[in-house]
Structure 1
């Protein structure tokens, strides 16, 4: 009922190649680690992988196929995701003035907020949506049993690999953040650059 070992290995290699390319998820987890430390980055990572798990469940239950069949539904997800990235960009741009009350609130985001934002970033990521709708089904072999079971197994493989990748980014970025935090000017530049990346990702999302 599960994919063959060879299929899993090929799927894992293809998935890893996709995950290492920076996208909204990577930018989000790196930002949180740089600003609030490794713990915040890892909490953001848990949110991201929860969103990926929801994608996997949607693919296994057929919900993803229904969304793919509706251009309106998919466009709604794409534009909502882009709007959320712009919202995150605005938050980053506002961090360029570190003495404001708003900035202090953003810098000390609660664990619940970090987790929630992570879930939303992944759920509304068009790249992840397309992966589960178009790419993952290609590795399903109907001769080996029910497709939903295989898709869920592949989805769990994706979640594990994504957790390892995002977790690594969180740990590395947390170490860098300690040095960046010692220079307000450098911190401001990083915030502006991160905000710009979010805007760029939003443009790419609506253009895809």
Structure 2
């Protein structure tokens, strides 16, 4: 694949992904609650969701999903409900949110939670539908180009959300023993739910 085209794709994809949204708010909330080391599983989950979006779009299934408005609406509200549920859990936790919560939240659960948040965000799929086809050309094989684009997208996804997580964890060290810690974490989850709910499908 042409390197210039790949760099342009990487720049475009990164600029879209870096904008604060439901995924970023979820990543920050998890980092504040569980710390950076454990929350890197969130970045892995988002990376895997990026892979799923790429497969859906590049296989043509994404177009079918896009045409089914009801499916997109259902996805969105499932995501909103899940984020509100996480917010309620955070509100009900004890003051020391790390020691109370980290015992029950495994790395695999955290990764799957991140995938659930990302995959129930219709805008993520629609953005992929708009971007990927622009960078597929007739000069190379379809599969090699698709794999190159997906690999770059996954690397960018992990890097951006890992940056959010590490940055938030530094703030989290000062908040975890505060009586406001749970409320702050819950506000990130509710903020993510609000952003997702406000987006039209």
TM range (shorter): 0.7 to 0.9
Give yes or no for the alignment of 1:98 onto 2:95. yes
Cα deviation for residue 165 of structure 1 reads 0.6
Cα deviation for residue 49 of structure 1 reads 0.9
Give yes or no for the alignment of 1:122 onto 2:118. yes
Tell me the alpha carbon deviations over residues 78-121 of structure 1, each in whole angstroms, 9 at most, x when there is no partner.
332233233233333334x5389xx9347741112111101111
Tell me which residue corresponds to 2:192.
198
CA contact (8 A) 1:89 1:198 kept: no
Q: How do 1:1-208 and structure 2 match up within 5 A?
A: 2=1, 4-95=2-93, 97-98=94-95, 104-105=100-101, 108-141=104-137, 143-185=138-180, 187-205=181-199, 207-208=200-201
Cα deviation for residue 153 of structure 1 reads 2.1
> RMSD of aligned C-alpha atoms?
2.4
CA contact (8 A) 2:22 2:193 kept: no
CA contact (8 A) 1:19 1:162 kept: yes
Measure, in 1, the Cα distance between the counterparts of 2:160 and 2:189. 22
Gaps spanning 5+ residues in structure 2: where? none
Tell me the alpha carbon deviations over residues 159-205 of structure 1, each in whole angstroms, 9 at most, x when there is no partner.
111111111111121221111113223x1441342243133123223
Q: Between Structure 1 and Structure 2, how many residues are aligned? A: 200
CA contact (8 A) 2:32 2:185 kept: no
CA contact (8 A) 1:41 1:174 kept: no
CA contact (8 A) 2:56 2:62 kept: yes
Measure, in 1, the Cα distance between the counterparts of 2:96 and 2:3. 54
Query: So what's the TM-score if we normalise by structure 1?
Result: 0.84
CA contact (8 A) 2:96 2:176 kept: no
Measure, in 2, the Cα distance between the counterparts of 1:29 and 1:66. 29
Measure, in 1, the Cα distance between the counterparts of 2:193 and 2:70. 23
- The SS at the match of 2:52 is helix
**Residues 188 and 83 of structure 1, relative CA distance in 2, 3 Å threshold:** closer
